[in-house]
Amino acid sequence: MLTRKKAEEIFTQVLKYSTAEETEAIIGSTSYSLTRFANNIIHQNVAEEGVSVSVRAVVDHRTARASTNKLDEASIREVCEAALALARTQPPDPGLLGMPGPQTFRSVDRFHPGTANLSPQARAEMVKKVVARAEKDHLTAAGILSSGSVASGVFNSRGLGAFHEETSSEFSVTMLGETSSGWAKAGSPNCESLDPELLADRAARKALDSHDPKEVPPSKYTVILEPSAVLDLLGFLFFDFGGLAVHEQRSCLTGRVGQKLFGDNIQVRDDVFHPLQAGAPFDGEGIPRQRVILVERGVVKGVVHARRTAQLMKTQPTGHGFPLPNDIGEVPMNIVMEGNKASVEDMIRSTERGLLVTRLWYIREVDPFQKILTGMTRDGTFWVEDGKIQYGVRNLRFNQSVIEMLNHVEMLGTPQRTAGEESFEMVVPAMKVRDFSFSSLTKF
């Protein structure tokens, strides 16, 4: 595993061989292991480790990057020469900013030795309990259990030195019955907080409770969206909260920043320091990340900015840029949506007629400005009537504007760290939404 001391030693070698006007290096290592199971048996166990050195050179207002996964002196020299040679072939960029100098960072502790050192045997024991839960009710289990660690540093010739290390873990399980399925997933820097047995039981209960699903006609319904369903919808919205996307008028927020776009109960921020979040406290250029209020009582309050975008829009960078060269701009990657104290059970009890949705998949964007999305429910969709779950239903396709949805939220749950399949992890609540639009049925 890369240490800060080792990263600094590597960067000293980079400076020895780089003759560029300015030099930056992103130095990282990864260690990742995964246990995969299907048909109630483990069928794959893999592990990989890697290192990388990515050097960016600046000369005559031109910049380029070259990378290597070798740490010997000859390879370091070669990658420095390659970055400089590539930079000289680029057209001049009048807007290219000089590299930032030293920065001050707020530390975050996201490294858990137990997660970094989780053995294949330990993962197998966890999966054994998951399979036992499946076999108890004649279900078939499939999924993954992974763990690992990452270390990364950003260093440059103007004295910047930023370094971060953290661990990660993820568990996902699908339980299959003859006519139904259930699903659960979670991720965390600390594997001890995953609780695969609890997740397996949740997935099994969804599969059992949705057996022999019935059809309900496509229409507008009150829906109770569990956190994973909420996350995968919101993921399509928050890519638009980047300053460059707004500046280039390719964001749904074009002309809408400062306006009330959502309901009064919608409040969102980007907050890398939230205790349920993950990630480094600096961005791809080594700029400290800041908390940014994105939505306050339904009003679009702000967007995030990399250094260059901040200069274009005459504001301050928020520490959300990607490594240069970069034409994407910036994206808030530490979404925290505030909620309330309602549980999913409270939402069910308050619903006269509606649907409970476990998760969504195969989501695609139909209208980028109105943020109309289409996709399907999956792995646990239920009919709710008179405050109770009545039976499982066949999955439905939806066509729904996320903007409209966030104006129809009637209840919010407690925010939790949530994993899905269509977006990055966020801290979001379950929500009850009226008039959610379903357009057609599926065959399963």
Q: How confident is the model at residue 263 (pLDDT cuts 50, 70, 90)?
A: very high
pLDDT for 441 equals: 87
Exposure string for 302-324, b = 16+ CB within 10 A, e = fewer: bbbbbbbbbebeeeebbbbbbeb
442 pLDDT above the threshold of 90: no
pLDDT per position as a tens digit, 403-438? 999 999 999 999 999 999 999 999 999 999 999 999
State the pLDDT at residue 150: 98
pLDDT range class, residue 328, cuts 50, 70, 90: confident
Cis peptide before 325 (omega within 30 of 0): yes
- Dist CA 416 CA 428 (whole Å): 6
Degrees to nearest 5, angle at CA 184 with 332 and 348 = 90
Cβ neighbourhood burial of 260 (10 Å; 0-12, 13-18, 19+): middle
Segment 316-340 shows an average pLDDT of: 95
Is residue 68 pLDDT above 90, yes or no? yes
| Secondary structure (H, E, C), the chain | CCCHHHHHHHHHHHHHHCCCCEEEEEEEEEEEEEEEEECCEEEEEEEEEEEEEEEEEEECCEEEEEEECCCCHHHHHHHHHHHHHHHHCCCCCCCCCCCCCCCCCCCCCECCHHHHCCCHHHHHHHHHHHHHHHHHCCCEEEEEEEEEEEEEEEEECCCCEEEEEEEEEEEEEEEECCCCEEEEEEEECCHHHCCHHHHHHHHHHHHHHCCCCECCCCCEEEEEECHHHHHHHHHHHHCCCEHHHHHCCCCCCCCCCCCECCCCCCCEEECCCCCCCCCCCECCCCCECCCEEEEECCEECCCECCHHHHHHCCCCCCCCECCCCCCCCECCCCEEECCCCECHHHHHHCCCEEEEEEEEEEEEEEECCCCEEEEEEEEEEEEEECCEEEEEECCEEEEEEHHHHCCCEEEEECCEEECCCCCCCEEECCEEEEEEEEEEECCC
Is a pLDDT exceeding 90 seen at residue 327? no
How far apart CA 292 and CA 288 sit, in angstroms, is 12
- Please give the pLDDT value at position 426: 97
Class of the CATH-defined domain 4-197: alpha beta
Quick one: what percent of the chain has pLDDT higher than 90?
98
Residue pair 168/181 in contact by the 8 Å Cβ criterion = no
Quote the mean pLDDT of the chain.
97
Q: What is the pLDDT of residue 443?
A: 76
Residues 213-250 pLDDT 10s: 999 999 999 999 999 999 999 999 999 999 999 999 99
Average pLDDT for 271-283: 97
For 285-290, what is the mean pLDDT?
98
% pLDDT > 70, the chain: 100
Domain limits, the chain: 4-197, 210-230+339-441
**Residue 444: what pLDDT?**
77
Q: Given this model, what pLDDT does residue 170 score? A: 98
Residue 361 pairs in a beta bridge with: 376
Span 158-212, pLDDT tens digits: 999 999 999 999 999 999 999 999 999 999 999 999 999 999 999 999 999 999 9
Average pLDDT over residues 261-265: 98
Block residue for tokens 């001391």: 5
